[in-house]
Chains A and B, each alone.
Chain A
C-alpha cells in the first residue's frame, strides 16, 4: 500500500507539472501572451515596457521556469480587471464552487443509488422502466437546460424555490440538481447493472440460504460490492462536475469560480482564467488520487494483492 501511495503521488506530481506546461503553452497559442495581459488600447510603448518587465523577451524555457516558480508560490499575476492578485480572486470564490459541486455529487448519489437498487431488485417492474427511462433522458439533457426547466417549474410556476443566488439551503437545491443531473443518471444505471451482476453471485445465494433477512442481504452483501465500481466513476466524473459549474453558475447567478472564469474570458482577463483553471485542475488531480486510494482500500482483492 505504501509503495502504491508513493507511485501515485509521483504520478500526480508529474501530471501536475504537465498541467502547468500545457497551461503555459495555451498562453502562447495566441502568438503573443502580452496581448492577453494588457488592455486592448495599450500603446506600443506600454506593450514593449511590459514585455521587458515581465521577461517575455527571454528564451521560452526560462519563461516557463519563471512561470512555474511563481505558480508554485500561488502567484498567477494581477487581474487586469480587478487589479488584485488573480489567485486571491479565485480562492475567494472557491468555497461557493466546492459547495455546489458537493451538493451536485450528494444529490446525484442520494437519488441514483436507491433508484438503481430498486430497479435491480424489481427488474422489469414499472419502477425499473420509469427509473431507467428517466436515466436515459437524464443522460441526454444538457445540465443547463435541466436548470432552466427547473426554474420554469419550481420557481416561475410553483413559487417553491428561488431562481438564483447563494446563501440558503433552498437556493442550493436547483443548481445542485441541475449540476448533478447527468451524474445522477449515469450512477443510477451503474448501480443497477452493478447490483444485477452481484445479485447472482454465490455469496449472495449463501446469505439467502443462511436465512438472512432480504434487507440485510441487499444492503450488506450486495450493495457494498456493487458500489465499488461506482467509486471510480465518481472520481472521474468530478472533472465533469467542476467543468459544469461554469454553465450552472451562470444560469443561477452563483458567485463561484465558474462564473468568474466566464467573466474573465469576456473581459480578456487571462491571469484569472489561468489561475482558476489550474486550481480546478489541481483539485481534480488530488480528488482522483484520493478516490484511487479509497478504491484500493475498499476492494480487499486489490488491497491484499
Chain B
C-alpha cells in the first residue's frame, strides 16, 4: 500500500506552487541565484583577472560605446582593470558578508528571543533593555564606533554586522513565542510533563522558523547595502580585494569623463538588493500571508 503523503510534504508543495506563481518572487529568486552562482564560480566565469592592471587601457568605455571592445565588455577602471571581472569578484564579498552576518544575527536573536519569550522575568527584562539600548544607536554609527576600535577586515566586518543585528530577530521571536505560549498544543505538552527544553525545541522552534527565514532574507539585502556603504567609506575589507562599494568610491573621481566606473557597481548593488527583496517579499506571501514585516 502506498504511503500517504505527509502533511509537511503537502505544505511544502503548496508553498512552492505559490512561490512559483508569484512572478516577482521568481524574478527575485532568479537574480539571487545568478549573483550567488557568480560569486561561487567567480574564478571560472570572470573573463579577466580582476587584479590585472593595464595603465595603457585605463578608462576604456563599455563595448557599445565608441572605443569599447569585447575584451572589456563593461569597460575598465582608472588603472585599467576589467570592470566586469571586478563586479563578479565583488559579489563574493557582498554575498558572503550578507549571508554570514545574517546567520550570526539570526542565531543570537532567535536564542535570546526564545529565552526572553519563554522564561520571562528578570532575564526577559534584561534582554529587552539591551535591545532598546542597542536600537538607540543608529546602526551605521554602532558599527562604525566598533570598527573604530577593533579595526577593519573581512572577518571583523562579518562579526560586527552579525553581532549588531540580533535585536530585530529577538523581538520577532519573542513576540511569536508569547503568542504560542497560550496555545493548546504548548499547554498540552507542558501538562504531559515535557521539559522546558523539549517544549521549546519540539513545539516552539518549528513555529518561529518561517518568520525568521523571511526576515533573514530581507535582512541579507540590508546588510549588502550597509557593507557597500562601509566599503565606500574605506571601512570594510581592505584593498586589493574588489568590493562594489570601493569600486563606486574609486569611480567617483572619474564621473565627468568615465561615468561607467561608478555606475555599474551601483547597478550591481541595486539589482542584487532588488532581487533579494523581491524573493523575501515572495517568501512572505507564500509562507505566511498574515505576516507583515516591513523589511527594516
Residues of A within 8 A of B (CB): 11, 14-16, 18-19, 21-23, 26-27, 29-30, 36, 136-137, 139-145, 148-149, 151-152, 156, 186, 233, 236-237, 239-244, 246-247, 250-251, 261-262, 264-266, 268, 270, 273-274, 277, 280-281, 284-285
* Cβ–Cβ < 8 Å partners of A264 in chain B: 148
Of listed A16, A142, A243, A250, residue having the most chain B CB within 10 A: A142
Residue of A nearest to B152 (CB): A265
Q: Is the CB of B229 within 8 A of A142?
A: yes
Q: Interface size bucket, B side?
A: 35 or more
- What is the interface of chain B mostly: helix, strand, loop, or mixed? helix
**Contacting residues, chain B, for A23 (C-beta < 8 A):** 145
**Chain A residue at minimal CB-CB distance from B145:** A277
With A140-B273, A142-B225, A145-B269: A240-B138 Cβ-Cβ less than 8 Å: yes
B residues 191-232 touching A (CB-CB < 8 Å): 221, 225, 228-229, 232
Contact among A16, A36, A149, A265 with B144 in the assembled complex (CB-CB below 8 Å): A265
Residues of B within 8 A of A149 (CB): 263, 266
What residue of chain A has the Cβ atom nearest to residue B221's Cβ? A140
CB–CB A142/B228 < 8 A: yes
* Residues in A neighbouring B139, C-beta threshold 8 A: 239-240, 243
Most chain B CB within a 10 A radius of its CB, from A149, A156, A265, A266: A265
Structural contact, A270 and B148, CB atoms closer than 8 A? yes
Give 4 closest A-B pairs by Cβ, nearest first: A18-B133, A243-B140, A243-B138, A145-B266
C-alpha gap A263/B189 in the complex (Å): 57
- Bound Cα distance A265, B121 (Å): 40
Measured CA separation A36–B130 after assembly (Å): 25
B262 interface hit (Cβ, 8 Å) = yes
**In the assembly, what is the distance between CA of A81 and CA of B255, in Å?**
32
Measured between C-beta atoms, what is the minimum distance from A294 to chain B in Å? 18
Contact check, A152 vs B259: say whether CB atoms are below 8 A apart.
Answer: yes
Q: Which residues of A contact B271 (CB under 8 A)?
A: 140
Complex Cα distance, B259 from A26, in Å, reads 40
Q: Is B65 an interface residue (CB 8 A)?
A: no
B248 to chain A: which residues have CB within 8 Å?
Answer: 144-145, 148
Q: When the two chains form their complex, are residues A29 and B144 in contact, meaning their CB atoms are under 8 A apart?
A: no
